[in-house]
Structure 1
Amino acid sequence: MAEEARQLSDAERSHDSALTSSGPSSQAREGHSSFSPDHEKGNSRGAKAGLATFASRRRGLIIIFAGCIVVIMVILALVLPLALILPHRQSGSAKATPTAAVRDGTLISGRLLDGYEVFGGIRYAAAPVGDLRFAPPQPPPSPIQVASVSIPKSKSKSKSNSHKTKASAHSSADQISKGGNTVADAGDAISAGADRRDAPPEPNLRTVQATNTGLVCPQDGDISRQDEDCLFAQIIRSPGVLQNASLPVLLFFHGGGGQAGSGASYIGSMIKMLDAGRKAGGPDVMIVLVNYRLGSLAFLGGTEFDELRQSRSGNVGLNLAFQDMRQAARWTRDNIDQFGGDPDQITIWGQSEGAFGVGSLLTAYPSSVEEPRPFAAAILQSGGPGGQPMLPQSYKDDQFNRVLSDTECGSLDLANATLAEPPRAFDPVAATAHLECLRALPWQKLRMVTNVEADRALKPEGYILGSYAWTPAIDGGPEEGGLFSDRASDLLSSRLYARVPMLSGDDEDEGTVFAPDTFNESPSFEDWLGRIYFAGPDRANASGIASFNDTMDALRSVIAAYPDDPSLGSPFSAADPTDRFYGPTNQYKRAAAVYGDIRWHSNRRLFLQRAAAANVPIHAYLFSNRNPRAPVELGVPHGADLDMILQTVSSPLGATMARQWLTFAATHNPNAQGLPVWPAYGSSSSILLFDHNATSVSADDYRSEAINVLNSDNVLTVTGR
């Protein structure tokens, strides 16, 4: 809020209209008609008394005046230093419309929301439509553009990043990570605004109003809230920030499994986080939220697209969700100073799919890359390099063929094809025809394909490597404009990643939200595990990544490391360790344990241990603080830590964690006076444990025997991690 100048005024004082002598009364003087010596003496004494009284009152006035001077000097001594340490605050009314003058000659006006300034719907990349569908993100046009619409009001509201019921884990429509306010809440609040007054435009400046959020990228759910033209950013800052403030920046990438979510959905909860962290003593930080492409519009790939990419024919890109994140980081670096942010102090921050995206940006900027890195530090919550199987693009040919069929755009000849041997010789004419057909489709048709594939991946006959329908694959790596030249463990071993300060952690029970609860015997559990992370025993010979024997040996070793013992399953801190929740032989806890470890915990530990060995500054955590309102079968589920940071859950830890995150953004270290001591990860693998609304330091060695199996060379190779 802009600082108000304090005005001081002297208190009104009443004075005698005149200072008179204290001699005889007028009546007594009138009784003496002639002057006498006694009368003269009386007048002399009265005059002297009057002079003494005047001197006394003059001394009093001098003392009062001197006191006022001292008070003013004290106030100035207090106010002037405060003005010096808050140079980034504007003067004037706290309710004034926020503005930013950008280099292209545009004056952007935003809106006030809950006491903070929000610039909504700023285009950070060209609209990915027409010939730019399936293309790498392009810089936005100049002058700056903003969204012309906001998201319509939604009928349903989501208040948490962690799922509330097990049933929701089995519906692709519900696999959406959201913040404390829904997209509709954010759009309505910003569009309405507390005050629609516009700041007077500066001379010769084009003016635009950044008061809309823009629509969300196509996904399951209310289609009226969606559009393919969706690559917009939202900027949140505290009130009164000046253009030269150089505030640290948090660039946040939302979760949602690569098929759901939006940046705008976090506006309200990010304001709560920023406010709580600052009130707890944390530094002022600017926050940027972005949308990125989802589903088939982001992760459609395969041999044809890869060949088109390599031949530079058709302007085709791969792993476009993560490419959009890279473009967002570039745009933020190049433009955030115009809003008062520091382009050299950008921390990329992701949760779930967003954290996998942060991991992709780390592998996109090894030291060999000449392009200046558009970030200085990274926060990875429940994700990072290695969680998603990284295989050749030929792995996606089956899915690509189904998409061609479902859209009536053609088909591929996949007879005798393997991951190692692509389907038939590349036909550029046919490939170009397929691409043109897919680009000519209404986006609503591709949205339908996205949802069909997402639902298919949840069924036994459709189990897919990596569990989610829409996932990344090897794209040539940074040397070819991509992100991944190999699987994550090989890149980490070769130190081919950006070695920047990192904050990284997981929730205790990452897998409970996603684990099926319908397996009542071990064979069904083993079949599921084999298909979602081991390419399936029926495909092992044709996988192209490992022999049949190696694949089966790896699968058996993991099954043995996660036995059918409910006391070893997740939730790991259940009140009754023997409770299977869904029946006397149910495999839910077993599935939750292995899924949480193979997708999250094992990969984080492997990454951090190798990064620490390369002297990368790291601070790690495990979030074990259970929400008493959460279903017991979920334990401390995926997203619970973000709920705490975004103040969705009421706990003393919320403000502490918010301050730690803001402090890390400002100093690349979450330690500060008044905060719990958080040791560096280092060679001792120290982590901060959040539990029972308190913190403690622990070693990162939980479930070490099982996780060591997951991180063995054979299992890493077979699973593409």
Structure 2
Amino acid sequence: MQTTREPYLQSLSHRGIIRGATIKDATTCAVLCHYFGGLRYALPPMSRWRRARPLPPDYLYGTAEQPGEHDSEQGAIRCANVTSKKGNEDCFQCNVWVPCAGKCPLEGWPVLFAIHGGFLQFGSPNDFSCARLLGEANFDCIIVTPAYRLGVLGFLASEELHQDAAAVGEESCGNFGFWDQRQALEWTRENIHLFNGNPLNITVSGYSAGAYSAFHQLAYDLRLPAEKSIIRQVIMWSNGPGVQPMSAINAQKQFNELLSVLDIPYTLSSQEKISHLRSCSPQELIDAGTKLKRHQFRPYTDSVFIPTHLFRRIDDGWFGHQLEARRVRLMIGECRNEHFVYGSWYPPENDSLSSLRRRLEADYSPEICDALVELYYPTGQLPENCDNWRDAFGHLYADIQVHMLQRGFIDALTRGVSAVSAAQLVHRYRIEYRVKCVDKMFPPAWGVTHATDLAMWFWGNGDILEDHEQGIVQNALIEPMKRFVQGGSLGADFQWNRNAVRVSQAWRLRSDGHVDVWEDSMWDKGLRVWKVLRNEATLKINANL
């Protein structure tokens, strides 16, 4: 379905005047929403690999004579990354989608802050298409989608970068992509009222790496004093916390390997090394990064955004009790066939266990890889349910990114709270239903694989849901999500949690479009995997932090 755009002026009070767009259905002329693309939420840092700077109090987006132009279909600038050369390091922008239908609550529209996925290596806030979700499915919430730094630009860390940050008064380096997300989240809290949003009701959500990001934003938020916290609800689509992010030692190894690939001598001073790296173009850095053994640039334990005791606080009950005390709720779940997409992302170079192991080390520490290989392949033989070792990698990768450690996380989160509190805090789902429009991107043989459900959560996400699919998606997904984001109960008037009284049960959208409560057949395995990684690998990792 095609849409049309008409200019729409919005006053942002002391921030000036901007021109967005009113998006309409091209056939019916029905108004879908107001849209504002590429709104700056922070100023770029003075140098690469430093924190973005908050907007100054007198920052203006535009004036009555020259409104800020935020009506382009291009949306926010994406960060340069491994899949796109069109990005930019100055990607500190977000898109804002505002409902037109319905009556705005007195306290303002609820806010959904949606973080895009892409393994933290690629992706864009423009991957979300929200107009029809707001206009046709009546999802009465403001949606904010931020860009953030990715890959080597967003997650490189080392002692040299730490010294560079300290020289300008920054307390840590690395995790710049997470700090960018935080800047965008703080911008949302401070400015969303200018779009009639409610800054006291912000749900942080994300898909895949966006869900992983949402977890770390929540973990950071829970360590703040209650009066400074931002997050009221969290939605984690198809991902979750798995293991303690890499140590400073392993981050330094990755940094040193990058120097080697770029022919930058180790013997240079810290300042000279950083200077050489800053003289490289983004594309040079990205291309060099793909040649590393550890070619995935991911978060590290910096003791500021990510504390050394993060997973200990999950296991000892602190995390769950904080959620309970602050009444922060979590929606979390999975697709049935996650492994097909996971197995396609930088698969092992050849069909062997050793090649699978080398691929794992691009994401995880050697300690974690040791524990996983021993747990999953104790005899070194290919599992019976796998055709080859690349297939085995897809299943294992999906287990650690989603299936197994998600279950261990939920168990640890709710272990110290009452059954009633657990049912109120955590809302689990499982998707086994696939809509037709995703066939354009994902082979039908892949089933309900990773990201196929985005077309449902976002009402086609720019494509078309068939008539018979719309009723299923509206009742089974959109209405419960809408109630969740609004802060309401997912009670008996919806099918969610009608009979699910244990966290080992999940609400399930079946392949036939019906909803039931699923007794999780993978629950016990998930708890075993979580326990092995906690008891064996984490102890070794903590010794190196």
2:300 to 443, 452, 473: 473
Counting only pairs closer than 5 Å after superposition, residues 621-640 of structure 1 correspond to structure 2 as 621-626=429-434, 629=439, 630-631=442-443, 633-640=445-452
1:271 to 128, 131, 146: 131
Give the partner amino acid of 1:492: I
> Which residue in 2 is equivalent to 1:620?
428
Q: How far did residue 672 of structure 1 move?
A: 7.0
Q: Indicate the SS of the match to 1:376.
A: strand
Deviations 1:14-49 (A, max 9, x none): xxxxxxxxxxxxxxxxxxxxxxxxxxxxxxxxxxxx
Q: Decide whether the 8 Å contact of 2:133 with 2:458 is kept in 1.
A: yes
Q: Indicate the SS of the match to 1:304.
A: helix
Deviations 1:243-286 (A, max 9, x none): 966010001100111121111232xx2122223431xxxx5111
> Which residue in 2 is equivalent to 1:695?
515
Q: How far did residue 699 of structure 1 move?
A: 2.6
Q: Decide whether the 8 Å contact of 1:244 with 1:340 is kept in 2.
A: no
Match status 1:298 vs 2:154: yes
Q: Distance in 2 between matches of 1:226 and 1:552?
A: 37
Change (3 A) 1:641 1:122: same
Deviations 1:423-461 (A, max 9, x none): xxxxxx92233334433x25xx2333223323x36xxxx
Q: Indicate the SS of the match to 1:301.
A: coil
2:173 to 308, 317, 321: 317
Give the partner amino acid of 2:259: L
Q: Distance in 2 between matches of 1:671 and 1:402?
A: 53
> Which residue in 2 is equivalent to 1:398?
253
Q: How far did residue 720 of structure 1 move?
A: 5.7
Q: How far did residue 320 of structure 1 move?
A: 0.9
Q: How far did residue 708 of structure 1 move?
A: 1.2
> Which residue in 2 is equivalent to 1:490?
312
TM-score when scaled to structure 2? 0.81
Give the partner amino acid of 1:505: G
> Which residue in 1 is equivalent to 2:458?
646
Change (3 A) 1:363 1:562: farther
Change (3 A) 1:238 1:632: closer
> Which residue in 2 is equivalent to 1:121?
38
> Which residue in 1 is equivalent to 2:403?
601
> Which residue in 2 is equivalent to 1:505?
333
> Which residue in 2 is equivalent to 1:102?
12
Counting only pairs closer than 5 Å after superposition, residues 423-572 of structure 1 correspond to structure 2 as 430-439=269-278, 441=279, 445-454=281-290, 456=291, 462=293, 464=294, 469-476=296-303, 482-486=304-308, 488-495=310-317, 497=319, 499=323, 500-515=328-343, 523-524=353-354, 527-528=357-358, 531-532=361-362, 535-536=365-366, 552=370, 555-560=373-378, 564-566=382-384, 568-569=385-386
Deviations 1:141-188 (A, max 9, x none): 3444559xxxxxxxxxxxxxxxxxxxxxxxxxxxxxxxxxxxxxxxxx
Deviations 1:660-717 (A, max 9, x none): 22221102544473x3233597644321112212211013342633651343233552
> Which residue in 1 is equivalent to 2:529?
709
Q: How far did residue 221 of structure 1 move?
A: 4.4
Q: Decide whether the 8 Å contact of 2:116 with 2:207 is kept in 1.
A: yes
Match status 1:412 vs 2:243: no
> Which residue in 1 is equivalent to 2:201?
345
Q: Decide whether the 8 Å contact of 2:353 with 2:380 is kept in 1.
A: no
Q: Indicate the SS of the match to 2:211.
A: helix
Q: Decide whether the 8 Å contact of 1:597 with 1:707 is kept in 2.
A: no
Q: How far did residue 518 of structure 1 move?
A: 6.7
Q: Distance in 1 between matches of 2:371 and 2:202?
A: 44
> Which residue in 2 is equivalent to 1:215?
77
Whose strand fraction is larger, Structure 1's or Structure 2's?
Answer: 2
Q: Decide whether the 8 Å contact of 1:561 with 1:705 is kept in 2.
A: no
2:48 to 133, 141, 148: 133
Q: How far did residue 300 of structure 1 move?
A: 0.9
Q: Decide whether the 8 Å contact of 1:602 with 1:707 is kept in 2.
A: yes
Change (3 A) 1:684 1:515: closer
Residues 335-344 or 513-522, more deviating? 513-522
> Which residue in 1 is equivalent to 2:231?
375
Q: Indicate the SS of the match to 1:402.
A: helix
Q: How far did residue 306 of structure 1 move?
A: 3.1
Give the partner amino acid of 2:270: A
Match status 1:286 vs 2:142: yes
Q: How far did residue 469 of structure 1 move?
A: 1.1
The percent of aligned pairs where both chains have the same amino acid is 21
Q: Distance in 1 between matches of 2:510 and 2:541?
A: 33
Give the partner amino acid of 2:43: A
Change (3 A) 1:553 1:216: closer
Change (3 A) 1:243 1:430: farther
Q: How far did residue 552 of structure 1 move?
A: 4.8
Listed as ranges, the gaps of 5+ residues in structure 2 are 25-30
Q: Indicate the SS of the match to 1:249.
A: strand
Q: How far did residue 608 of structure 1 move?
A: 1.5
Q: How far did residue 514 of structure 1 move?
A: 2.7
2:111 to 249, 266, 278: 249
Q: Distance in 1 between matches of 2:179 and 2:365?
A: 26
Q: Decide whether the 8 Å contact of 1:106 with 1:206 is kept in 2.
A: no
Residues 678-687 or 485-494, more deviating? 678-687
Listed as ranges, the gaps of 5+ residues in structure 1 are 1-93, 148-199, 414-428, 477-481, 537-544, 570-579, 581-585
Residues 609-618 or 711-720, more deviating? 711-720
Q: Distance in 1 between matches of 2:363 and 2:88?
A: 33
Residues 496-505 or 521-530, more deviating? 521-530
Change (3 A) 1:706 1:621: closer
Q: Decide whether the 8 Å contact of 1:135 with 1:316 is kept in 2.
A: no
Q: Distance in 2 between matches of 1:647 and 1:695?
A: 18
> Which residue in 1 is equivalent to 2:28?
none
Q: Decide whether the 8 Å contact of 2:76 with 2:91 is kept in 1.
A: yes
TM-score when scaled to structure 1? 0.62
Q: Decide whether the 8 Å contact of 1:646 with 1:654 is kept in 2.
A: no
> Which residue in 2 is equivalent to 1:6?
none
2:485 to 653, 665, 671: 665
Quote the RMSD (CA, aligned, Å). 3.5
Change (3 A) 1:682 1:533: farther
Deviations 1:67-126 (A, max 9, x none): xxxxxxxxxxxxxxxxxxxxxxxxxxx998534322415122311123210112111111
Q: Decide whether the 8 Å contact of 1:353 with 1:383 is kept in 2.
A: yes
Q: Indicate the SS of the match to 2:216.
A: helix
